[in-house]
Amino acid sequence: MIPAKYKTLLFAFVLVIYQLPQKIVAQNYEHLANNLHKQIQKHFYLPRGVYYREFADSVAPQHKVSYLWSLCALWQADNEMEKLLPRGNLLRKDFSVIEKYNDNAAPAPGFDSYPGEFKKEDRYYDDNQWIGLTAMDAYKRTNQQFYLNVGEKIYRFMMTGFDTVSGGGLYWKEGDKSTKNTCSNGPGIILALQLYQATKKQTYLDTALMLYGWVNKHLEAPTGLYYDNLKITSNTVAKYQFSYNTGTMLQSNVYLYECTRQQKYLNEANRIADASLNYFYAKGMFRDDYWFNAVLLRAYQQLLKYNPDKRYILAFKNCVDNALHNDVNANGLMGKTKSLNLVAQGGMLEILARFAWMQKMHYF
């Protein structure tokens, strides 16, 4: 028989061991990123038409080339790759494809979800915003006016999706006034703040604060995460909770702290990070799509500047390593049991490139 006091000590010891971080798997993330990038170019790029395909095995024959959303994922990933390979010239190659989706229709120029030479489809505010965010990241990194011009173009387009119905906020899709979504307001806040940092124009900060207040009023969940959208006609909320929506709102708070130095925004960022860690990464496996998680990783990485606690990054890393172990197919692409589109491949490429950079900076 073990005396009661020793049972208590043994239980405490086991509890401490259980709570220790999982063993950090040794990965060369730069090598992994370079390999995935090579496979994406091999299996998705269509040099004759200067496009990318949506699926490597063409399981979507009704669409000859990829949607804009896929290029949003790839362009951001390639921005992170250019940080690793400064002379790679990846972004301009990507943008030569993105330009084929351009649509100068009133009320403002923007990018269609599918290239008009094949089929006229809708313009989504969030698709355009993802392009704008990458452009502004590239501007901050390179100081090239070209990227600032793209960011400003996207801002003008996204603001055509704003009205005062339901108290403000941006719609999700041009010509469709049925929903206002976190995915079209969260990145809108970030884009406005990036432009404010670049230009110091008060209009951009005012826009960011206006959109930020609207999202928190209508779409913040009691858990500290964020719901998907507000249905305008019924004034009801679609309560899906995706990692990318939480990611844009977490990152919005970090940017607001940078722009205003008000501690409340950093406190809010830390609170959202805690809530997201428990919900999305506690089980060591991704709950939703790779690209959705890449957007949340952007926020975690930026938060590291002000909160050195690495538990968010390390929990995320466990999920990455799990995916690398279980979900890489024979072609070196993500998707072992089912074909994944370019959005997913671009999402994982961005994740690997960001981890490669953090590995170089000795974050783990």
What spatial distance separates the first Cα and last Cα of the chain, rounded to whole Å?
43
CA gap 215, 184 in Å, rounded: 10
Q: Write down the pLDDT at residue 18.
A: 33
Is residue 3 in a domain?
Answer: no
Block residue for tokens 């699926």: 55
Q: Is residue 35 a part of any domain in this protein? A: yes
Residue 10 within a domain? no
Tokens at 360, concatenated: 């170089």
pLDDT at 2: 46
What is the number of domains present in the chain?
Answer: 1
* Secondary structure (3-state) at 27: coil
The answer to whether the Cα torsion of 88, 303, 260, 171 is positive or negative is positive
pLDDT tens track for 287-309: 999 999 999 999 999 999 999 99
Look at residue 19 and tell me if it is in a domain: no
CATH code of the domain in which 351 resides = 1.50.10.20
pLDDT under 70: residue ranges of the chain? 1-25, 58-62
* pTM of this structure: 0.92
User: What is the C-alpha separation between 217 and 226, in angstroms, rounded?
Assistant: 11
Which pLDDT value is given to residue 85? Answer: 87
Closest CA to 285 of 311, 318, 261: 318
Q: Is residue 68 part of a domain?
A: yes
Alpha-carbon span 109 to 9, nearest angstrom: 67
* Paired tokens of 264: 């409340």
**In the prediction, which pLDDT does 9 show?**
41
Determine the longest span between alpha carbons in the chain, in angstroms.
82
- List the one residue out of 48, 43, 101, 49 whose CA is nearest residue 71: 101
Query: Could you tell me the two tokens for 188?
Result: 């809108």
* Position 327, amino acid: D
For helices 290-303 and 263-280, the axis angle rounded to 10 degrees is 140
**Distance in angstroms (rounded) separating the CA atoms of residues 162 and 183:** 14
The pLDDT assigned to 87 comes to: 79
Range of the domain at 299: 31-360
Q: Does 267 map to a domain? A: yes
* Residue at 231 is within a domain: yes
**Do residues 92 and 141 lie in contact, with contact meaning Cβ atoms separated by under 8 Å?**
no
> What pLDDT is attached to residue 88?
78
Containing H/E element for 102?
A: strand 102-103
Residue 17 to residues 13, 20, 77, 141, 269: CA-CA distances in angstroms?
Answer: 6, 5, 37, 42, 29
Copy the structure tokens of residue 178: 């049925």
Q: What is the pLDDT of residue 159?
A: 98
Is residue 40 situated within a structural domain? Answer: yes
